Structure 1
Amino acid sequence: MNQSKKITDGALLTAVYIALLLIVVFVPVVVSFGIFILPIPFILYASRHGFKPTIIMFLVALLLSLVFATAVSLPLTVLAGIGGMTIGSAIHRNLTAYETWAQGTVGFIIGIVIVVLLLQLLLGINIYNEMDVAIEDSVTMTKTIMDQMGLGGPETDEQIEQLEKQMYDFKDIIPSSIAAISILLAFLSQWLSYKLMNRIENKRLAFPPFKQLNFPIAIIWIYFIALILGLINLDPDGAIYLVVANVMALTIILIAIQGFSFIFFYADHKKVHKAVPITILVISLLFPFLFLFIIRIIGIIDLGFSLKRRLANGNKT
Structure 2
Amino acid sequence: MNNTKRITEGALMTGVYLLLLLVIIFMLGIIGSLLLFVLPVPFIFYTYRHGWKSGALMFIASLIFTMLFATVVSLPITLLAGVGGISLGQAMYKERSSYETWAIGSVGFIIGIVGIYLITQLFFGISWADQVRESLNQAFTMTESMFSGMLDQENAEEQLQMVREQLNVLPDIIPSVLAITGIVYAFISQWLTYKLVNRIEQTQFKFSPFREMQLPTSILWYYFFSLILNYIVSSENGMVYLAAINVFTLTGILLVLQGFSFIVFYAQVKKWSKAIPIVVIVLSLLLPQILLYLVRILGIIDIGFSLRQRVEEKK
* TM-score, scaled to structure 1: 0.91
Aligned residue type for 1:197: V
- Change in Cα spacing, 1:150 to 1:266, as seen in structure 2 (3 Å) is closer
Structure 1 counterpart of 2:236: 237
Instruction: Please state whether the residue corresponding to 2:241 is helix, strand or coil.
Output: helix
Q: How far apart are the structure 1 equivalents of 2:161 and 2:249?
A: 23
Q: Which moved more, 1:190-199 or 1:119-128?
A: 119-128
Shift of 1:67: 3.9
> Residue 97 of structure 1 contacts residue 207 of structure 1 at CA under 8 Å; is this kept in 2?
yes
Cα offsets for 1:239-281 (capped at 9, x unmatched) = 3222221111111011001001101101111112323323333
RMSD: 2.0
> Residue 146 of structure 1 contacts residue 152 of structure 1 at CA under 8 Å; is this kept in 2?
no
Structure 1 counterpart of 2:88: 87
Structure 2 counterpart of 1:114: 115
Structure 2 counterpart of 1:100: 101
Q: How far apart are the structure 2 equivalents of 1:277 and 1:135?
A: 36
Structure 2 counterpart of 1:198: 198
Structure 1 counterpart of 2:53: 52
Q: How far apart are the structure 2 equivalents of 1:190 and 1:312?
A: 31
Q: Which moved more, 1:49-58 or 1:25-34?
A: 25-34
Q: Which moved more, 1:193-202 or 1:68-77?
A: 68-77
> Residue 52 of structure 2 contacts residue 90 of structure 2 at CA under 8 Å; is this kept in 1?
yes
Q: How far apart are the structure 1 equivalents of 2:30 and 2:299?
A: 36
- Change in Cα spacing, 1:80 to 1:155, as seen in structure 2 (3 Å) is same
Aligned residue type for 2:171: K
* Percent identity for Structure 1 against Structure 2: 45
Unmatched segments (≥5 aa) in structure 1: none
Structure 1 counterpart of 2:172: 172
> Residue 108 of structure 1 contacts residue 186 of structure 1 at CA under 8 Å; is this kept in 2?
yes
Shift of 1:31: 4.1
Aligned residue type for 2:184: L
Structure 2 counterpart of 1:33: 34
* TM-score, scaled to structure 2: 0.92
Q: How far apart are the structure 1 equivalents of 2:156 and 2:134?
A: 22
Q: How does 1:130-279 map to 2 (within 5 A)?
A: 130-147=131-148, 149=149, 151=151, 153=153, 155-232=155-232, 234-238=233-237, 239-279=239-279
- Change in Cα spacing, 1:60 to 1:285, as seen in structure 2 (3 Å) is farther
Q: How far apart are the structure 2 equivalents of 1:167 and 1:57?
A: 42
- Change in Cα spacing, 1:207 to 1:150, as seen in structure 2 (3 Å) is closer
> Residue 45 of structure 2 contacts residue 89 of structure 2 at CA under 8 Å; is this kept in 1?
yes
> Residue 120 of structure 2 contacts residue 127 of structure 2 at CA under 8 Å; is this kept in 1?
yes
Aligned residue type for 2:216: P
Shift of 1:122: 4.5
> Residue 194 of structure 1 contacts residue 206 of structure 1 at CA under 8 Å; is this kept in 2?
yes
> Residue 129 of structure 2 contacts residue 172 of structure 2 at CA under 8 Å; is this kept in 1?
no
Cα offsets for 1:137-165 (capped at 9, x unmatched) = 12221222134x45484532322222122
Aligned residue type for 1:65: T
> Residue 83 of structure 1 contacts residue 108 of structure 1 at CA under 8 Å; is this kept in 2?
yes
- Change in Cα spacing, 1:200 to 1:266, as seen in structure 2 (3 Å) is same
> Residue 252 of structure 1 contacts residue 296 of structure 1 at CA under 8 Å; is this kept in 2?
yes
Q: How far apart are the structure 2 equivalents of 1:155 and 1:31?
A: 45
Cα offsets for 1:69-113 (capped at 9, x unmatched) = 434422221111110011101111222222222211111111001
Structure 1 counterpart of 2:293: 293
Q: How far apart are the structure 2 equivalents of 1:18 and 1:284?
A: 42
Instruction: Please state whether the residue corresponding to 2:236 is helix, strand or coil.
Output: coil
> Residue 284 of structure 1 contacts residue 291 of structure 1 at CA under 8 Å; is this kept in 2?
yes
Aligned residue type for 1:95: R
